[in-house]
Amino acid sequence: MKTVDDLEVQGKKVLVRADLNVPLKDGVITDDGRIRASLPTIRKLIDKGARVVVVAHLGRPKGEAKPEFSLAPVAVRLGELLGKDVAFAADTVGASAEAAVAGLGDGEVALLENLRFAAAETSKDDAERGAFADRLAALADVYVGDGFGAVHRKHASVYDVPKRLPHAAGGLIATEVDVLKRLTEDVARPYAVVLGGSKVSDKLGVIDNLLETADRILIGGGMLFTFLKAQGHEVGQSLLEEDQIPVVLEYLERAKAKGVEFVLPVDVVAATAFSADAEHDVVPADAIPADRLGLDIGPESGKLFASRLADAKTIFWNGPMGVFEMEPYSHGTRAVAQGLLDSAAFTVVGGGDSAAAVRTLGFDENAFSHISTGGGASLEYLEGKTLPGLEALED
């Protein structure tokens, strides 16, 4: 896979597929982590004299131009972080985009409007997607793929455009791939994996694959209640995927046979309602009251998880341990993050909500070995799937 370092881009128009899918509240960016992660590649291209055309998506506008999903605030923030003006085009392949690109000088940057305002970007019809890719490719001389958070999608800007232009991976994608190889090839052991988040069904594929590679799998978040139910415990009003119980039971049996340690919480924080103000108590994990729902792992579970991470040489963490956005249910996630930092392991935070939690809870991002920008892409890679965006950059 070629990288930006292999490209000669002086005076050339370089289309950079970035991941700028940041959270917005009332038009204000609440977490600019993904913009910051895109800066090294963009800066490198600027320094090499490229005319940089950045494309990205934000949210799920489903093929409609919806103002709340505009990248305009992102263009402002990107300019602030780069210390230079970033031209913003009000469309992606129309007159505004063409004018913005034509107006670029060497070392200048433009950001085009949300790719997903065009239904063709995400179309499953190859011809429709390809026609949109043709128009995108016509804006540039070279393509750089750097939106790791989207490489598991067969979208026009991710999969089809690099087939139409000389292409290379940006620094972010190159780093992500190197990290994921450390989680799948010649892994330093013990290898511990912490999985959280709301649904066990979202993690079935990765659990299936990790049973072949991990030494320990620690389960928290909403998905833990399906595991508890599978063991015959009362879970009250907690999130539960009853249809996944047979699969969970099979995984527990396989883990036992393979010597993979499954670590489940011993206590949980159970509340009367899904609210920060609700009455809540710490209860044993096998004795959740029928009228309560679990919203975090408990303090003893936090200590248990930290103890099972302490001697690990490699740790991958994907998914919070509870509803960390509400302070009473943030302590389990905090305990896991601290457990990663207290270990001497190569620590990888697997994107999405886990990365947001690290920032929200005030941890130093640089203290972790790597914080991924793509939770879904990371999980699919660990499942052993072929990622279309990486495949397109390989050839």
Catalytic residue (one of 339, 350, 376, 389): 376
57 is in an annotated binding site: yes
Q: Tell whether residue 203 is among the known ligand binding residues.
A: yes
Is 153 among the annotated ligand-binding positions?
yes
Considering 13, 34, 129, 308, which one is annotated as catalytic? 34
Per annotation, catalytic residue among 66, 199, 359, 385:
199
Tokens describing residue 175: 């780093």
**Residue of 369, 364, 257 whose CA lies nearest to 312:** 369
- Residue 21 assigned to a binding site: yes
Instruction: Tell me whether residue 160 is annotated as binding.
Output: no
Query: Is 303 among the catalytic positions?
Result: no
**Is residue 121 annotated as involved in ligand binding?**
no
For 177, the token pair is 């791939």
Helix, strand and coil content of the chain, in percent to the nearest 5, comes to 45, 15, 40
Contact 274, 281 (CB under 8 A): no
Instruction: Say whether 152 counts as a known binding-site residue.
Output: no
Backbone φ and ψ of 114, nearest 5°: -45, 120
Residue 51 known to bind ligand: no
352 is in an annotated binding site: yes
Angle between the N-to-C axes of helices 352-360 and 331-342, in degrees from 0 to 180, rounded to the nearest 10: 90
**Is 154 considered catalytic here?**
no
Is residue 77 flagged as an active site residue?
A: no
376 catalytic per annotation: yes
Tell whether residue 354 is among the known ligand binding residues: yes
Whether residue 167 is annotated as binding a ligand: the answer is no
The DSSP line for 106-118 is TT-EEE---GGGS
Nearest to 294 by CA among 228, 362, 344, 352: 228
- Residue 20 annotated in ligand binding: yes
Residue 322's nearest CA partner among 347, 340, 299, 345 is: 299
Active-site choice (196, 322, 339, 352): 352
Is residue 312 within 8 A of residue 190, CB to CB? The reply is yes
CA distances from 37 to 42, 159, 207, 259 (A): 10, 21, 28, 38
For 225, phi and psi rounded to 5 degrees?
-70, -25
240 known member of a binding site: no
What's the CA gap between 80 and 146, in Å, rounded?
20
CB 362 within 8 A of CB 137: no
Q: Count of CB atoms within 10 A of residue 207's CB?
A: 24
Rounded to whole angstroms, the Cα distance separating 4 from 144 reads 7
Residue 116 marked in a binding site: yes
Q: Is 34 annotated as a binding residue?
A: yes
Query: ∠ CA(38), CA(185), CA(168), 5° rounding?
Result: 35
Element (H or E) spanning 270, and its range? strand 267-271
Q: CA 213 to CA 233: how far, in whole Å?
A: 28
Instruction: Report how far residue 298's alpha carbon sits from residue 281's, in angstroms, rounded to the nearest whole number.
Output: 9
**Residues making up the binding site for ATP:** 203, 294, 325, 351-354
Residues designated catalytic: 34, 199, 352, 376
**Residues making up the binding site for substrate:** 19-21, 34, 57-60, 116, 153
**Residues making up the binding site:** 19-21, 34, 57-60, 116, 153, 203, 294, 325, 351-354
